[in-house]
Amino acid sequence: MVAAIGALLGFFANWLSPRGLSLTRDFFFLSNRPVTNAVVVANPTQTLTATNPVSPLEQGVRARLGAEGLHVADSNLVLKLFHDPRCQQGLVVFIDAREPGPFAEGHIPGAYELDYYHPDAYLPTVMPLCVSAEQVVVYCNGGNCEDSEHAAQMLGSIGVPREKLFVYAGGIVEWETNGMPVELGERKSGRMKGPTK
Amino acid sequence: MPSQPNSLIDSAAVLARWVLGAIFIYMGLHKVLDPVGFLKLVNQYHLVSEPFLLNSIAAVLPWFEVFCGLLLLAGVGVRGAALMLIVMLIPFTLVVFLRAQEIVATQGISFWSVKFDCGCGTGEILVWHKLIENPLLILLSGWLLFSGRGRAFSARFGLFGTPAVGSPATN
Protein backbone atom coordinates (compact mmCIF):
# COMPACT_ATOMS: atom_id res chain seq x y z
CA MET A 1 0.00 0.00 0.00
CA VAL A 2 2.84 2.39 0.88
CA ALA A 3 4.54 1.54 -2.41
CA ALA A 4 1.40 2.07 -4.45
CA ILE A 5 0.45 5.36 -2.81
CA GLY A 6 4.01 6.61 -2.87
CA ALA A 7 4.46 5.80 -6.54
CA LEU A 8 1.18 7.47 -7.49
CA LEU A 9 2.10 10.54 -5.49
CA GLY A 10 5.50 10.58 -7.14
CA PHE A 11 4.07 10.49 -10.64
CA PHE A 12 1.55 13.18 -9.75
CA ALA A 13 4.19 15.41 -8.16
CA ASN A 14 6.43 15.05 -11.20
CA TRP A 15 3.54 16.01 -13.45
CA LEU A 16 2.78 19.09 -11.37
CA SER A 17 6.34 20.21 -10.82
CA PRO A 18 7.75 22.86 -13.18
CA ARG A 19 11.02 20.92 -12.99
CA GLY A 20 9.27 17.66 -13.78
CA LEU A 21 10.75 15.27 -16.30
CA SER A 22 9.10 14.03 -19.45
CA LEU A 23 8.59 10.30 -18.91
CA THR A 24 8.55 9.31 -22.54
CA ARG A 25 11.43 11.27 -23.99
CA ASP A 26 14.64 9.41 -24.83
CA PHE A 27 17.01 11.97 -23.31
CA PHE A 28 20.14 9.93 -23.85
CA PHE A 29 19.24 8.33 -27.20
CA LEU A 30 19.39 4.95 -25.50
CA SER A 31 17.87 3.20 -28.46
CA ASN A 32 20.41 4.57 -30.89
CA ARG A 33 24.07 4.16 -30.01
CA PRO A 34 26.10 3.00 -33.02
CA VAL A 35 29.77 4.00 -32.99
CA THR A 36 31.69 4.99 -36.09
CA ASN A 37 34.31 7.59 -37.03
CA ALA A 38 33.38 11.24 -36.59
CA VAL A 39 34.21 14.35 -38.59
CA VAL A 40 36.54 16.68 -36.71
CA VAL A 41 36.73 20.24 -37.93
CA ALA A 42 39.39 22.52 -36.49
CA ASN A 43 40.39 24.27 -39.62
CA PRO A 44 38.80 22.80 -42.74
CA THR A 45 42.19 22.65 -44.42
CA GLN A 46 44.03 21.29 -41.38
CA THR A 47 44.62 17.60 -40.83
CA LEU A 48 45.33 15.91 -37.55
CA THR A 49 48.95 14.98 -37.03
CA ALA A 50 51.04 13.31 -34.38
CA THR A 51 51.79 16.77 -32.97
CA ASN A 52 48.10 17.45 -32.54
CA PRO A 53 47.01 14.58 -30.34
CA VAL A 54 43.43 14.04 -29.36
CA SER A 55 42.36 13.03 -25.86
CA PRO A 56 40.48 9.74 -25.32
CA LEU A 57 37.50 11.79 -24.15
CA GLU A 58 37.40 13.75 -27.38
CA GLN A 59 37.87 10.56 -29.38
CA GLY A 60 34.79 9.16 -27.68
CA VAL A 61 32.82 12.33 -28.43
CA ARG A 62 33.89 12.19 -32.07
CA ALA A 63 32.92 8.57 -32.38
CA ARG A 64 29.45 9.13 -30.94
CA LEU A 65 28.73 12.24 -32.98
CA GLY A 66 30.12 10.82 -36.18
CA ALA A 67 27.46 8.16 -36.11
CA GLU A 68 24.90 10.96 -36.17
CA GLY A 69 26.62 12.96 -38.90
CA LEU A 70 27.55 15.72 -36.48
CA HIS A 71 30.82 17.62 -36.12
CA VAL A 72 33.11 18.26 -33.18
CA ALA A 73 34.59 21.73 -33.02
CA ASP A 74 37.75 22.42 -31.08
CA SER A 75 38.56 25.66 -29.28
CA ASN A 76 40.37 27.16 -32.27
CA LEU A 77 37.35 26.84 -34.52
CA VAL A 78 34.99 28.03 -31.81
CA LEU A 79 37.10 31.12 -31.24
CA LYS A 80 37.25 31.75 -34.99
CA LEU A 81 33.48 31.47 -35.27
CA PHE A 82 32.95 33.69 -32.24
CA HIS A 83 34.88 36.49 -33.95
CA ASP A 84 33.35 35.83 -37.37
CA PRO A 85 31.33 38.84 -38.63
CA ARG A 86 28.61 36.38 -39.64
CA CYS A 87 27.88 35.99 -35.92
CA GLN A 88 26.44 39.50 -35.83
CA GLN A 89 24.26 38.67 -38.83
CA GLY A 90 22.85 35.55 -37.21
CA LEU A 91 24.61 33.29 -39.68
CA VAL A 92 26.74 31.77 -36.91
CA VAL A 93 24.71 30.87 -33.85
CA PHE A 94 25.85 29.66 -30.45
CA ILE A 95 23.46 27.44 -28.46
CA ASP A 96 23.88 26.83 -24.75
CA ALA A 97 22.35 23.45 -23.88
CA ARG A 98 22.44 23.88 -20.11
CA GLU A 99 19.69 24.61 -17.62
CA PRO A 100 18.64 28.22 -16.88
CA GLY A 101 20.65 28.47 -13.67
CA PRO A 102 24.06 27.64 -15.14
CA PHE A 103 23.23 29.71 -18.23
CA ALA A 104 22.62 32.78 -16.11
CA GLU A 105 25.79 32.18 -14.16
CA GLY A 106 27.75 32.63 -17.33
CA HIS A 107 27.49 31.80 -21.02
CA ILE A 108 29.29 32.56 -24.25
CA PRO A 109 28.28 36.13 -25.14
CA GLY A 110 25.33 36.15 -27.51
CA ALA A 111 24.55 32.46 -27.04
CA TYR A 112 20.93 31.37 -27.11
CA GLU A 113 19.56 29.32 -24.29
CA LEU A 114 18.18 25.84 -24.94
CA ASP A 115 17.51 23.84 -21.79
CA TYR A 116 17.89 20.40 -23.34
CA TYR A 117 15.78 18.72 -20.65
CA HIS A 118 12.91 21.21 -20.96
CA PRO A 119 13.24 22.45 -24.53
CA ASP A 120 9.64 23.30 -25.36
CA ALA A 121 9.90 26.90 -24.19
CA TYR A 122 13.07 27.52 -26.18
CA LEU A 123 12.59 25.71 -29.48
CA PRO A 124 10.22 28.24 -31.03
CA THR A 125 13.03 30.81 -30.77
CA VAL A 126 15.99 28.57 -31.39
CA MET A 127 14.76 26.46 -34.32
CA PRO A 128 14.26 29.26 -36.87
CA LEU A 129 17.65 30.70 -35.93
CA CYS A 130 19.35 27.35 -36.41
CA VAL A 131 17.63 26.67 -39.70
CA SER A 132 18.61 30.04 -41.14
CA ALA A 133 22.16 30.01 -39.76
CA GLU A 134 25.11 28.67 -41.71
CA GLN A 135 26.81 27.18 -38.66
CA VAL A 136 25.40 26.27 -35.25
CA VAL A 137 27.73 25.67 -32.33
CA VAL A 138 26.19 23.79 -29.41
CA TYR A 139 27.94 23.63 -26.07
CA CYS A 140 27.39 22.71 -22.43
CA ASN A 141 29.84 22.38 -19.55
CA GLY A 142 32.13 20.20 -21.62
CA GLY A 143 34.25 17.32 -20.38
CA ASN A 144 32.03 14.43 -19.35
CA CYS A 145 28.83 16.40 -19.85
CA GLU A 146 26.96 15.11 -22.90
CA ASP A 147 24.13 17.63 -22.95
CA SER A 148 25.53 19.49 -25.96
CA GLU A 149 25.81 16.26 -27.92
CA HIS A 150 22.25 15.28 -27.09
CA ALA A 151 21.01 18.77 -27.89
CA ALA A 152 22.76 18.68 -31.26
CA GLN A 153 21.26 15.27 -31.96
CA MET A 154 17.85 16.59 -31.03
CA LEU A 155 18.22 19.63 -33.30
CA GLY A 156 19.35 17.38 -36.11
CA SER A 157 16.40 15.08 -35.62
CA ILE A 158 13.83 17.90 -35.76
CA GLY A 159 15.01 19.61 -38.92
CA VAL A 160 18.30 21.44 -38.51
CA PRO A 161 20.63 20.22 -41.28
CA ARG A 162 23.31 18.17 -39.59
CA GLU A 163 26.16 19.56 -41.64
CA LYS A 164 25.62 22.88 -39.86
CA LEU A 165 25.77 21.42 -36.37
CA PHE A 166 28.99 21.61 -34.39
CA VAL A 167 29.48 20.41 -30.84
CA TYR A 168 32.02 22.33 -28.82
CA ALA A 169 33.31 19.45 -26.73
CA GLY A 170 35.36 21.65 -24.40
CA GLY A 171 32.29 23.59 -23.36
CA ILE A 172 32.00 26.65 -21.18
CA VAL A 173 34.64 25.32 -18.80
CA GLU A 174 37.29 25.31 -21.51
CA TRP A 175 36.02 28.66 -22.81
CA GLU A 176 36.51 30.25 -19.40
CA THR A 177 39.81 28.47 -18.81
CA ASN A 178 41.07 30.01 -22.05
CA GLY A 179 40.30 33.44 -20.61
CA MET A 180 37.42 34.17 -22.94
CA PRO A 181 34.64 36.60 -21.97
CA VAL A 182 31.52 35.29 -20.31
CA GLU A 183 28.15 37.01 -20.31
CA LEU A 184 26.07 36.92 -17.14
CA GLY A 185 22.31 36.73 -16.78
CA GLU A 186 20.11 36.85 -19.85
CA ARG A 187 21.33 36.82 -23.42
CA LYS A 188 22.61 40.25 -24.44
CA SER A 189 22.41 41.44 -20.85
CA GLY A 190 25.60 43.42 -21.34
CA ARG A 191 26.96 42.14 -18.03
CA MET A 192 30.29 40.53 -18.67
CA LYS A 193 32.84 38.60 -16.71
CA GLY A 194 36.42 38.31 -17.87
CA PRO A 195 38.41 40.04 -20.63
CA THR A 196 36.88 40.90 -23.97
CA LYS A 197 38.90 39.39 -26.81
CA MET B 1 4.90 -6.65 18.32
CA PRO B 2 6.87 -5.92 21.49
CA SER B 3 5.83 -8.18 24.39
CA GLN B 4 7.30 -6.05 27.17
CA PRO B 5 7.40 -2.30 27.19
CA ASN B 6 10.93 -0.90 27.50
CA SER B 7 10.95 2.86 27.56
CA LEU B 8 14.66 3.17 26.69
CA ILE B 9 14.46 0.88 23.67
CA ASP B 10 11.16 2.41 22.60
CA SER B 11 12.63 5.88 22.89
CA ALA B 12 15.59 4.76 20.80
CA ALA B 13 13.19 3.36 18.23
CA VAL B 14 11.28 6.64 18.05
CA LEU B 15 14.57 8.46 17.62
CA ALA B 16 15.59 6.00 14.89
CA ARG B 17 12.26 6.58 13.18
CA TRP B 18 12.76 10.32 13.22
CA VAL B 19 16.39 10.16 12.14
CA LEU B 20 15.58 7.84 9.24
CA GLY B 21 12.65 10.00 8.27
CA ALA B 22 14.72 13.18 8.34
CA ILE B 23 17.53 11.58 6.33
CA PHE B 24 15.23 10.40 3.59
CA ILE B 25 13.32 13.68 3.45
CA TYR B 26 16.62 15.53 3.10
CA MET B 27 18.02 13.20 0.45
CA GLY B 28 14.74 13.07 -1.41
CA LEU B 29 14.32 16.85 -1.46
CA HIS B 30 17.86 17.28 -2.69
CA LYS B 31 16.92 15.16 -5.72
CA VAL B 32 13.45 16.64 -6.11
CA LEU B 33 15.04 20.05 -6.56
CA ASP B 34 17.36 18.77 -9.29
CA PRO B 35 15.58 16.01 -11.20
CA VAL B 36 17.80 16.46 -14.25
CA GLY B 37 20.91 15.95 -12.16
CA PHE B 38 19.41 12.81 -10.66
CA LEU B 39 18.38 11.55 -14.09
CA LYS B 40 21.96 11.86 -15.30
CA LEU B 41 23.24 10.05 -12.20
CA VAL B 42 20.79 7.19 -12.61
CA ASN B 43 21.81 6.94 -16.27
CA GLN B 44 25.48 6.64 -15.31
CA TYR B 45 24.80 3.19 -13.85
CA HIS B 46 23.54 1.92 -17.22
CA LEU B 47 21.02 -0.33 -15.48
CA VAL B 48 18.08 0.65 -17.59
CA SER B 49 17.98 1.02 -21.35
CA GLU B 50 14.29 1.77 -21.72
CA PRO B 51 13.67 5.55 -21.63
CA PHE B 52 10.26 5.40 -19.92
CA LEU B 53 11.61 3.23 -17.12
CA LEU B 54 14.73 5.35 -16.66
CA ASN B 55 12.78 8.59 -16.64
CA SER B 56 10.17 7.18 -14.27
CA ILE B 57 12.80 6.10 -11.78
CA ALA B 58 14.44 9.51 -11.88
CA ALA B 59 11.14 11.35 -11.69
CA VAL B 60 9.37 9.32 -9.04
CA LEU B 61 12.03 7.97 -6.70
CA PRO B 62 12.94 11.30 -5.09
CA TRP B 63 9.29 12.03 -4.26
CA PHE B 64 8.91 8.48 -3.00
CA GLU B 65 11.83 8.98 -0.63
CA VAL B 66 10.29 12.17 0.72
CA PHE B 67 6.97 10.37 1.13
CA CYS B 68 8.53 7.51 3.09
CA GLY B 69 10.47 9.99 5.21
CA LEU B 70 7.28 11.87 6.05
CA LEU B 71 5.53 8.65 6.97
CA LEU B 72 8.31 7.78 9.37
CA LEU B 73 8.34 11.23 10.95
CA ALA B 74 4.60 11.20 11.40
CA GLY B 75 4.51 7.57 12.47
CA VAL B 76 2.09 6.45 9.77
CA GLY B 77 2.44 3.03 8.21
CA VAL B 78 5.88 2.76 9.80
CA ARG B 79 6.48 -0.86 8.91
CA GLY B 80 5.49 -0.29 5.30
CA ALA B 81 7.72 2.75 5.03
CA ALA B 82 10.62 0.89 6.66
CA LEU B 83 10.14 -1.98 4.24
CA MET B 84 10.21 0.44 1.31
CA LEU B 85 13.45 1.94 2.56
CA ILE B 86 15.00 -1.52 2.70
CA VAL B 87 13.71 -2.33 -0.78
CA MET B 88 15.38 0.84 -2.08
CA LEU B 89 18.58 0.65 -0.06
CA ILE B 90 19.65 -2.93 -0.72
CA PRO B 91 19.83 -2.86 -4.51
CA PHE B 92 21.13 0.71 -4.51
CA THR B 93 23.97 -0.22 -2.17
CA LEU B 94 24.84 -3.17 -4.37
CA VAL B 95 24.84 -1.01 -7.48
CA VAL B 96 27.11 1.55 -5.86
CA PHE B 97 29.50 -1.20 -4.83
CA LEU B 98 29.58 -2.62 -8.34
CA ARG B 99 30.18 0.80 -9.86
CA ALA B 100 33.03 1.37 -7.43
CA GLN B 101 34.53 -1.96 -8.49
CA GLU B 102 34.21 -0.91 -12.11
CA ILE B 103 36.05 2.33 -11.40
CA VAL B 104 38.80 0.46 -9.59
CA ALA B 105 39.18 -1.88 -12.55
CA THR B 106 39.17 0.83 -15.23
CA GLN B 107 41.13 3.53 -13.46
CA GLY B 108 43.46 1.37 -11.42
CA ILE B 109 42.93 3.30 -8.20
CA SER B 110 42.48 1.97 -4.69
CA PHE B 111 38.94 1.09 -3.64
CA TRP B 112 39.36 3.36 -0.62
CA SER B 113 39.92 6.39 -2.83
CA VAL B 114 36.98 5.83 -5.16
CA LYS B 115 34.81 8.90 -5.00
CA PHE B 116 31.75 9.82 -7.04
CA ASP B 117 28.26 11.22 -6.78
CA CYS B 118 26.23 8.06 -6.28
CA GLY B 119 22.91 9.87 -6.66
CA CYS B 120 21.81 9.58 -3.04
CA GLY B 121 21.59 13.33 -2.59
CA THR B 122 24.78 13.99 -0.66
CA GLY B 123 26.95 14.91 -3.64
CA GLU B 124 30.35 13.40 -4.34
CA ILE B 125 31.38 11.10 -1.53
CA LEU B 126 34.01 8.47 -0.78
CA VAL B 127 32.24 5.27 -1.67
CA TRP B 128 33.40 3.31 1.35
CA HIS B 129 31.62 5.86 3.55
CA LYS B 130 28.41 5.14 1.68
CA LEU B 131 28.96 1.40 1.98
CA ILE B 132 29.09 1.75 5.74
CA GLU B 133 26.27 4.26 5.99
CA ASN B 134 23.74 2.36 3.90
CA PRO B 135 23.93 -0.95 5.78
CA LEU B 136 23.39 1.00 9.00
CA LEU B 137 20.29 2.56 7.50
CA ILE B 138 19.16 -0.88 6.38
CA LEU B 139 19.67 -2.24 9.90
CA LEU B 140 17.72 0.63 11.46
CA SER B 141 14.92 0.15 8.95
CA GLY B 142 14.91 -3.57 9.60
CA TRP B 143 14.70 -2.98 13.31
CA LEU B 144 11.67 -0.74 12.89
CA LEU B 145 10.11 -3.24 10.51
CA PHE B 146 10.51 -6.37 12.62
CA SER B 147 10.50 -5.07 16.20
CA GLY B 148 7.37 -2.96 15.89
CA ARG B 149 8.90 -0.54 18.37
CA GLY B 150 8.82 3.24 18.17
CA ARG B 151 5.07 3.61 18.45
CA ALA B 152 5.19 6.67 20.63
CA PHE B 153 4.28 9.88 18.84
CA SER B 154 2.82 7.87 15.97
CA ALA B 155 -0.29 9.04 14.15
CA ARG B 156 -1.05 5.54 12.91
CA PHE B 157 1.84 3.11 13.34
CA GLY B 158 0.14 0.36 11.37
CA LEU B 159 -1.92 1.49 8.42
CA PHE B 160 -4.52 -1.20 8.94
CA GLY B 161 -5.89 -1.26 12.43
CA THR B 162 -2.93 -0.90 14.81
CA PRO B 163 -3.76 2.17 16.93
CA ALA B 164 -1.31 4.68 18.33
CA VAL B 165 0.04 4.38 21.85
CA GLY B 166 -2.41 5.60 24.45
CA SER B 167 -5.61 4.54 22.75
CA PRO B 168 -7.88 1.93 24.44
CA ALA B 169 -6.88 -0.87 22.09
CA THR B 170 -3.11 -0.38 22.38
CA ASN B 171 -1.21 -3.49 21.28
Give B37's Cβ-side CA count (13 Å radius). 19
Answer whether residue A7 is part of any domain. Answer: no
pLDDT computed for residue A83 by the predictor: 95
CA distance A96 to A138: 6
Q: Nearest by CB to B68, from A6, A14, A25: name it.
A: A6
Answer whether residue A4 is part of any domain. Answer: no
Answer whether residue B162 is part of any domain. Answer: no
pLDDT computed for residue A177 by the predictor: 93
Answer whether residue B167 is part of any domain. Answer: no
CA distance B62 to B56: 10
DSSP-H helix ranges across chain A:
2-16, 56-66, 75-82, 100-105, 123-132, 147-157, 171-177
The structural domain count of chain A equals 1
* B59 interfaces chain A, CB cutoff of 8 Å: yes
Residue B5 pLDDT exceeds 90: no
Answer whether residue B166 is part of any domain. Answer: no
Q: Which DSSP string do the residues of B114-148 spell out, in sequence order?
A: -EEE-SSSS-EEEHHHHHHHHHHHHHHHHHHHHH-
* A144 interfaces chain B, CB cutoff of 8 Å: no
Answer whether residue B105 is part of any domain. Answer: yes
pLDDT computed for residue B26 by the predictor: 93
Residue A148 pLDDT exceeds 90: yes
* A32 interfaces chain B, CB cutoff of 8 Å: no
CA distance B152 to A137: 61
- Label residue B161 by pLDDT band (50, 70, 90): low
**Residue pairs between chains A and B whose CB atoms are closer than 8 Å:** 83
Answer whether residue A17 is part of any domain. Answer: no
Kindly report the CATH number assigned to the domain that includes residue A80. 3.40.250.10
pLDDT computed for residue A41 by the predictor: 45
Tell me the nearest-neighbour CA distance from B61 into chain A, angstroms.
7
pLDDT computed for residue A51 by the predictor: 43
Residue A127 pLDDT exceeds 90: yes
Answer whether residue A161 is part of any domain. Answer: yes
CA distance B100 to B104: 6
* B61 interfaces chain A, CB cutoff of 8 Å: yes
Answer whether residue A88 is part of any domain. Answer: yes
Residue A96 pLDDT exceeds 70: yes
Q: Nearest by CB to A25, from B34, B50, B51: name it.
A: B51
Full residue range of the structural domain in which residue B35 is found? 7-147
CA distance A45 to A126: 30
- Between A47 and B78, residue with greater pLDDT: B78
Full residue range of the structural domain in which residue A89 is found? 35-47+54-193
Residue A196 pLDDT exceeds 80: no
Answer whether residue A187 is part of any domain. Answer: yes
**Mean confidence (pLDDT) of chain A:** 85
User: What length does chain B have?
Assistant: 171
* B33 interfaces chain A, CB cutoff of 8 Å: yes
Answer whether residue A23 is part of any domain. Answer: no
Select from B164, B171, B156, B4 the least CA-distant residue to B80.
Answer: B156
Answer whether residue B35 is part of any domain. Answer: yes
For A116, other C-beta atoms within 10 Å of its C-beta total 25
For A157, other C-beta atoms within 10 Å of its C-beta total 12
CA distance B109 to B116: 13
- Do residue B60 and residue A20 have CB atoms under 8 angstroms apart? no
Select from A143, A145, A165 the least CA-distant residue to A156.
Answer: A165
CA distance A47 to A82: 22
CA distance B127 to B133: 10
CA distance A4 to B64: 10
Burial class of residue A26 (count of CB atoms within 10 Å of its CB; 0-12, 13-18, 19+): middle
- Label residue A57 by pLDDT band (50, 70, 90): low
The structural domain count of chain B equals 1
Tell me the nearest-neighbour CA distance from A174 into chain B, angstroms.
21
